[in-house]
Amino acid sequence: LHVVYPVVKLADGTLLAGDHMVSTGGEYIQSEVAFGTLRWFKLDPQKVVTTVEVKNPDLRRVDEVGWADLMPGGGHGVAGWINISGVEVYATPVPR
């Protein structure tokens, strides 16, 4: 039941979660996510929940890219986990 959503950390420290979920169903598969077409929501890092939608975020100001599982965990063991073996980001660096 667990899926992951792309997360970006902007230069000002704001965390945003995209609306594209990735689920592997336990298989090792490759997925692609086009960040420019996603709807973005503020992510509260303490509670790991989304809050308000952020319209047209400046994705030229991304410092970090990652993933978040927004579903509560199932406790110990294999009840709630995600395995990501690699991430490739294709972007144009912007000097600051």
Burial state string for 24-37 with b = 16 or more CB within 10 A and e = fewer than 16: eeeeeeeeebebee
pTM of the model: 0.85
Query: DSSP strand E in the chain: where?
Result: 5-10, 15-18, 40-44, 49-54, 62-68
Q: pLDDT at position 75, please? A: 65
User: From first to last of its 96 residues, what are the pLDDT tens digits of the chain?
Assistant: 678 899 999 999 999 999 999 887 777 778 889 998 999 999 999 998 999 999 999 998 999 999 998 887 766 666 667 777 788 888 888 777
pLDDT for 29 equals 79
The reported pLDDT for the residue numbered 91 is 86
pLDDT score for 74: 67
Whole-angstrom distance, CA of residue 63 vs CA of residue 13: 9
Q: With left for phi above 0 and alpha for psi between -120 and 50, is residue 26 left, alpha or beta?
A: left
DSSP 60: G
